[in-house]
Chain A
Amino acid sequence: MAAPAVSTKKNYLTALKEAISEEMGSNPDMLCIGEDIGILGGAFGVTDGLQAKFGAERVIDAPISEAAIVGVACGMCLNGKTVMAEMQFIDFISCGFDQIVNMTATYHYRTAGEVAIPMVIRGPAGGYGGGALYHSQMNEAWFANSPGLKIVCPSTPKDAKGLLKASLRDPNPVIFYEMKELYRQRAIEEDVADGDEALVPLGQAQVRRKGESLTIVTYGNNVYHCLQAAENLDKEGFSAEVVDLRTLVPLDQNTILESVKKTNRLLVVNEAPRTCGFAGEVLARIAEEAFEHLDAPPSRITRLDTPVPWVKPLESFVLPSVEKITEAALRVCRY
């Protein structure tokens, strides 16, 4: 496909940038806080130009203190603000863990609804880039297991913008996983709307590809691996339906169920470790809700139960790949 001379298409990172800038522009009570997000404009440039536009009071360069970043943001929200808190890498979120799961996630619950915390914690996440142990993680399961947090993971520029805008308008805390390998991917650039038109509501999965033979449920980077695997399956005479969850909490269980009722076969793919990972949750729910619709044992492809190693052969060994997904999908189809 020939690119037009001047492309209006936007990449994933630009889409995120626009979401933050638009929301800052329309919501005077919104602030941003994070390491190097102001003067530098963020390690990856997601907040580039933001401080120049909105000032240092609203775009705060925080000390290297993830617990304080989250906790301070929580206090701001308690006092009427909306806050975007950036984790320089989502791996570092563990340093703010207590402030997220015990302080922020529980606030609405423990105050019997008196307080809501409209906070978005976002950051670059995921493997496939040789980021090694501490710059490759997907740790969404920690938070899915902590009631009170919404969890979002977009795979396209449109979703990146639309879901981030929706997250910034949600009255609940949201953990927003950005796929840093997709930030500047040319292949996925697309037209992205402005303003309210861009909004994508939380809690709605998207069928990326229609099919009849099996349902592949996934999100984030793995959406593209699954779409490629689906093409491999075509050659083997099977058509895969690929469901991109986009939001993990709240989970759009209906879209998965509808698809499984049609295909009667399920494979779930995610790049987090296997044990107690989100893929396991999807399998469990389908086993509970649609057992009688299944013609094959539901299956999953995940990261091995290991950290994410650095060099390519090691990293590829532990993460889901097109080959692993294709193989597993064929097994499910041929069962």
Chain B
Amino acid sequence: MASTATESDQKKKPRPTYTPGPYSAKLTPEDHRELLLQLYLARYFDVRLIKEKKRGRLRGTLYSSHNQEAIIVGSLFGLKPEDWISPIHRDMPAFFMKDLRSGWRNPDRMGMTVQEVCAQVWGRATSPGRARDNWSHIGSKAKHIIHSTSMLAGTIPAACGVVYADRMNGGDAVCLTFNGEGSTAQGVFHEAINFAAVHKLPVVTVIENNQWAYGTPAELEYSLEDFARRADGYGIPGLIADGQNVFDVYDKISEAVEWARAGKGPSIVECKTFRAYGHGDHDDDRAAKYRPADEVEEGRSRDPIAVMKKLMVEFGTLKPDEAKEFMAEGKGASEVTNDDFPPQVVDYLSEGVEFAVNSPEPAAEEGGMWVFKEGH
């Protein structure tokens, strides 16, 4: 395309501010629109739950993925349905966004339904884990989602085991594990990545580097300019992605996934981003004090929805007028309204909330069940 453009053409139509990588260059205009919708969906999940919490309808802590949605969306978009993921506390939307590409309402989709995830958040018996542990601590063997726990980095070894078993069975599934940069200081992070490297396991470790681990800045968690360089010590690739740019995330993760699927082994993909609010919603007020205001302002300045829209306009897959519709970007949960989101996003999530609210709590005696598997 570019080779046939004349000088004057190029002046009329400015070169996009981001050059698509080999994978995102192949995305269709429909893919672009789908990705944008998914960004809205992840954002809406977040702000809707914060609103529900403020109305006193929810217990527990929401670890907001606000401003980090491009990592979840861009990572999941390149996976095959049978691939595995291992999300953590900040990736709540990932549970229902896995394999969304197969159709949001496709019953055979290899991801949880939004109903199931909402039921979990509301602590209802219809949650995949029957609300035995809270919030993000769910998973699904059937949907290839490793059940998350509180223990940071604690599921990376399981990710290794899952794909080891899959490979033995002749499969070629890849597992994406999501981790905050702070969790990389855990001993088990090292043990698992080292194991994966030794056995060339198809495990892609996605680092959501949002610069903060609760109240501790990244420079007190590790001493590298770019965390991705940690990969060098394991003899595996370490990639860096702009975590605000869904195309770049998609490119880098796809590269890592292809590498893994080809049997070349694990890799680390550091996605640079910024935690827009508190560690959890309980921490918003304190975070406003322990983090310098200018750092926060700068960190929030590249909302992934805005970045995506700007690039789509440049690529010609979104009209400038359309870009001005649904202005969710840059708005906090208290400023944003349903009108700032495409109706299909609001409807989709509302079905989940409706389902959750109308679901029963588990029976009390379930608290004593399933310690052991009986009757074998």
Contacts and interface: CB of A to CB of B under 8 A. Distances in A.
Interface of A: 31, 57-58, 62-63, 65, 67-68, 70-81, 98-99, 102-103, 106-116, 147-148, 150, 169-172, 250
Contacts of B162: 75-76, 78-79
Contacts of A103: 149, 151, 154-155, 157-158
A73 B139 contact: no
Nearest to A79: B165
A77 B154 contact: no
Interface stretch (B69-77, B89-97, B185-193): B185-193
B371 A109 contact: yes
Contacts of A99: 154, 157, 188
A73 B151 CA distance: 17
Contact of A70 (B130, B157, B168): B157
Contacts of A67: 157, 187-188, 191-192
A150 to B, nearest CB: 7
Given A67-B188, A102-B151, A109-B371, A80 B165 contact: yes
Contact of A78 (B129, B146, B370): B146
Nearest to A171: B373
Give the bracket for the number of chain B residues in contact with chain A. 35 or more
B158 A75 contact: yes
B161 interface: yes
For B146, B161, B198, the residue with the greatest tally of chain A CB atoms inside 10 Å of its CB is: B161
Interface in B349-376: 366, 369-373, 376
A79 B164 CA distance: 9
A58 B169 CA distance: 12
A65 B161 contact: no
Contact of A74 (B133, B158, B191, B369): B158
A98 B156 CA distance: 13
A73 B187 contact: no
A72 B195 contact: yes
27 contacts: A63-B194, A68-B160, A71-B156, A71-B161, A71-B188, A71-B191, A75-B146, A75-B159, A75-B160, A79-B161, A81-B161, A81-B165, A103-B151, A103-B154, A103-B155, A108-B370, A108-B371, A108-B372, A110-B137, A111-B129, A111-B147, A112-B130, A113-B369, A113-B373, A114-B141, A171-B376, A250-B372
A42 B164 CA distance: 22
A106 B150 CA distance: 12
Nearest to A112: B130
Given A62-B195, A63-B191, A114-B141, A148 B372 contact: yes
A103 B191 CA distance: 15
Nearest to A81: B165
A65 B191 contact: yes
Contacts of B142: 114
Contacts of B128: 111, 114
B132 interface: yes
A78 B143 CA distance: 12
A106 B370 CA distance: 9
A172 B372 CA distance: 6
B157 to A, nearest CB: 2
B158 A112 contact: no
A95 to B, nearest CB: 8
B140 interface: yes
A72 to B, nearest CB: 4
B166 interface: yes
B194 A65 contact: yes
Contacts of B129: 110-112, 114
Contacts of A115: 141, 147
Contact of A111 (B139, B150, B154, B166): B139
